[in-house]
Amino acid sequence: KAGVTQTPRYLIKTRGQQVTLSCSPISGHRSVSWYQQTPGQGLQFLFEYFSETQRNKGNFPGRFSGRQFSNSRSEMNVSTLELGDSALYLCASSLESGPSLNTEAFFGQGTRLTVV
Amino acid sequence: GNSVTQMEGPVTLSEEAFLTINCTYTATGYPSLFWYVQYPGEGLQLLLKATKADDKGSNKGFEATYRKETTSFHLEKGSVQVSDSAVYFCALSDKGTYKYIFGTGTRLKVLA
């Protein structure tokens, strides 16, 4: 059974550009979450989707957005990139009920974004 | 709001030493608790979980018991190996908000 797949693994972008990251969840998983990981702030929740609906959003500016498609694949977009957006972006998928009902999240390897 | 507090790292141990990584939480209700491990250059892998008070999660020689009275979920292993070197994250599932809340992570280095 394939795990959570994130593409690309590495990205280098320039300040002011925008970027789109992709996440394919484990087959049958309908909940997809995104987290930003930085040395200073640790793991911070970005948003969670279930059946194409965003159920929760973390405390990030509007430059961070996401969506989920009917096949449960998800993308997140960051516009007008800033140096501080450099981070490892992790996607996690869960079974139908999502993390609210004791089910664990399965994480991808992440996308390492560097903004220069 | 809900939160997780982990002991500061790094923790450096010799091979076969006993490991404890402390984790305490603050939460309303009864969250599920998790330990995740992150190896260099990788994402997070679930190590173990516990879904209710007094549950003991265990995997690969690691154990943690959900202690409601002390709001703790300490990770233990009787004999660590060099291959256990990684960053360990304690987390709780924040029911109703569909997210996990993570501790800051504890880096473990095991020396041969």
From the list A30, A32, A29, the residue with the least C-alpha distance to A21 is A32
Whether A35 contacts A44, CB under 8 Å: yes
Tell me the chain A residues in contact with residue B45 when contact means C-beta distances shorter than 8 Å.
107
Q: How far is B89 from chain A (nearest CA, A)?
A: 9
Cβ of B98 within 8 Å of Cβ of A107? The answer is no
Query: C-alpha dihedral over B59, B63, B69, B72, to 10 degrees?
Result: -90
Spatial neighbors of A111 by CB under 8 A, at least 6 apart, are A6, A7, A8, A9, A10, A11, A21, A88, A89
- Compute the distance between CA of residue A31 and CA of residue A24 in angstroms, rounded to an integer: 11
From the candidates A102, A103, A109, A112, which should be mutated to test the interface with B, based on the most B CB atoms within 10 A?
A102
Q: What average pLDDT does chain B have? A: 93
- Compute the distance between CA of residue B72 and CA of residue A76 in angstroms, rounded to an integer: 34
Tell me the chain B residues in contact with residue A33 when contact means C-beta distances shorter than 8 Å.
98-100
B1 interfacial to chain A (CB closer than 8 Å):
no
Cβ of A100 within 8 Å of Cβ of B95? The answer is yes
Express each pLDDT in A77-91 by its tens digit.
999 999 999 999 999
Per-residue pLDDT tens digits of chain A, which is 116 residues long: 679 999 999 999 999 999 999 999 999 899 999 999 998 889 999 999 999 999 999 999 999 999 999 999 999 999 999 999 999 999 999 886 555 555 778 999 999 999 99
Cβ of A109 within 8 Å of Cβ of B100? The answer is no
B104 interfacial to chain A (CB closer than 8 Å):
yes
Q: Name the E strands within chain B.
A: 3-6, 11-14, 19-21, 23-26, 33-38, 44-50, 56-59, 62-65, 75-77, 86-94, 99-102, 106-111
From the candidates B37, B89, B100, which should be mutated to test the interface with A, based on the most A CB atoms within 10 A?
B100
